[in-house]
Amino acid sequence: MQSLIRNPKEFWAGVMFTVLGVIALVIGQDYTMGTAGKMGPGYFPTALGGILTVLGLIAVVRSFIKGGETLDKFALKPAFLVLFSVFLFGILMRTAGMVIAVMALVIVGGLASNKYTWKANLALAIGGALFCSIVFVKGLGVPMPLFGTWFGN
């Protein structure tokens, strides 16, 4: 199987576009199509979903015929840590408040670097939280709770 795919990048991109195109088509079936002169909400997305599916399939077919670049390994650790830290920020923002959310973001996200040192990271976390409190909340008046619902605010 793997040897048949001569352009892995193109192959997987094609798979991704096909899947997304099919999803758009399937969900698009729930919306009224209408006619060209009187387009319903389903017309344009169905057309786009169809085009995307076709383009994806072309890419898949082409990846069997024409050689190309190999797909590099995904850097799972930094990807997970960075994304998870932002997700954590989203969860903590209202519940624990901005100060803790920012510190969690820096501490968890910072682990993604292989040059991580805990001292520098902690300093950045505290500095970042202070900076945001002073500049964004006090200075610019962005309505963010410094401490959230967990602290009875």
Partner 1 sequence: MEVFSNLALGFDTVFTVTNLLYCLAGVFLGTAVGVLPGLGPVATIAMLLPATFALPPITSLIMLAGIYYGAQYGGSTTAILVNLPGESSSVVTALDGYQMARKGQAGKALAVAALGSFFAGTVSTFLIAFAAPPLAEVALKFGPAEYFSLMVLGLVASVVLANGSLLRAISMIILGLLFGIVGTDVNSGVPRYTFDIPDMADGINFVVVAMGMFGIGEIIVNLENEDTRTVMMKKVTGLMPTKEDFKRCVWPVLRGTGLGSILGILPGGGAMLSSFASYSLEKKMAKNPEEFGHGAIQGVAGPESANNAGAQTSFIPMLTLGIPSNPVMALMIGAMIIQGIQPGPAVMTEQPELFWGLIASMWVGNFFLVVLNLPMIGLWVRMIMVPYNMLFPAILIFCAIGVFSLNNSNFDVYMMVIFGLFGYICAKLGAEPAPMLLGFILGPMMEEYLRRALLLSRSDPMVFLERPISAAMLILSAVALAMVMLPALRKKREEAFVE
Q: How far is the CB of 131 from partner 1 (least distance, A)?
A: 8
Q: How far is the CB of 4 from partner 1 (least distance, A)?
A: 18
SS3 34: strand
Burial bucket for residue 67 (CB in 10 Å: 0-12, 13-18, 19+): exposed
Q: How far is the CB of 3 from partner 1 (least distance, A)?
A: 20
Q: How far is the CB of 27 from partner 1 (least distance, A)?
A: 6
- Judged by CB, which is closer to partner 1: 6, or 13? 13
- What Cα–Cα distance (Å) separates residue 21 from each residue in 16, 35, 140? 8, 21, 43
Q: How many residues does the chain have?
A: 153
- Judged by CB, which is closer to partner 1: 4, or 72? 72
- Judged by CB, which is closer to partner 1: 127, or 151? 127
Question: Crossing angle, helix 98-110 and helix 76-95, to 10 degrees?
Answer: 170
CA–CA separation, 93 vs 148, rounded Å? 7
- Judged by CB, which is closer to partner 1: 135, or 151? 135
- Judged by CB, which is closer to partner 1: 4, or 38? 38
CA–CA separation, 119 vs 72, rounded Å? 33
Q: How far is the CB of 45 from partner 1 (least distance, A)?
A: 6
CA–CA separation, 144 vs 93, rounded Å? 8
